[in-house]
Amino acid sequence: MNIKSQLICVLIVTILSLCSVSNVAAAPVSKLTPGIHSSYADDLKGGRQTYILARFFFFAPTFYGEATILTMGVGQSIHLKGVLSYDTPPTNSTDYSHGIPYKTLNIQSLNSDGKTWSTVGTCGTSESGAFDVKLTPTAVGVYTYQITYDGDSQYDPAVSNVVTLTATNMAIS
């Protein structure tokens, strides 16, 4: 291991230590992150910036819609849909212009401590980069989700926007 590689390892350990001590979340590093040498960012993952857009998708008697915050009754089902894309953030959950096909995504739920996330399942992207997860809350409460992608040799890791579902005792139509 050369000196440059050793220094990079020490820098990473130092940054991770500072983040855990100060309880600050570290953002994913990409080629677009200022102050990071581009060859170092290329070593982390494939180098293509990725994005995930997630929305609840619902139908009503006279229309359908997308939302990031939704209230519904316990036992009712809702679809969490979206797209994994590269280079350009999607404008809505059906913007497949830069979709990344056939990748595995993690479905994460915010724990009751309000700080940590747990992976509660996985889903895959279709040929267009789209994903669709059916959710059915079984108890009254607030459910907060995000979708993550671990990245690979071509694409950087990504985290979606947060979506929040409130389940009540009464059915919402």
Q: Is the pLDDT of residue 83 over 90?
A: yes
Is 51 in the same domain as 120? yes
Which alpha helices (DSSP H) does 23-160 contain, by range? Answer: 38-44
The residue with tokens 């595995």 is 104
pLDDT tens-digit map of 25-42:
323 333 333 333 333 344
d(CA 95, CA 93): 6
pLDDT tens-digit map of 108-142:
999 999 999 999 999 999 999 999 999 999 999 99
C-beta separation of 149 from 129 below 8 A: no
Phi, psi of 6 (to 5 degrees): -65, -40
Mean predicted lDDT score pLDDT of the chain: 77
Amino acid at 168: T
d(CA 33, CA 22): 21
DSSP 3-state of 58: strand
Is 33 in the same domain as 95? no
Q: pLDDT-derived band of residue 23, with 50, 70 and 90 as boundaries?
A: very low
Is 117 in the same domain as 131? yes
Q: Residue 173: inside a domain, yes or no?
A: no
Q: Residue 119: inside a domain, yes or no?
A: yes
CA diameter of the chain: 65
Q: Residue 63: inside a domain, yes or no?
A: yes
Is 8 in the same domain as 87? no
Instruction: For residue 18, give Cα distances in angstroms to 8, 81, 106, 116, 155.
Output: 15, 36, 27, 18, 27
Phi, psi of 82 (to 5 degrees): 175, -165
d(CA 100, CA 102): 7
Is 93 in the same domain as 120? yes
C-beta separation of 56 from 78 below 8 A: yes
d(CA 139, CA 169): 8
pLDDT tens-digit map of 146-161:
999 999 999 999 999 9
Domain count, the chain: 2
pLDDT tens-digit map of 45-67:
567 999 999 998 876 555 567 88
Domain that holds residue 20: 3-43
Is 144 in the same domain as 126? yes
Stated pTM of the model: 0.70
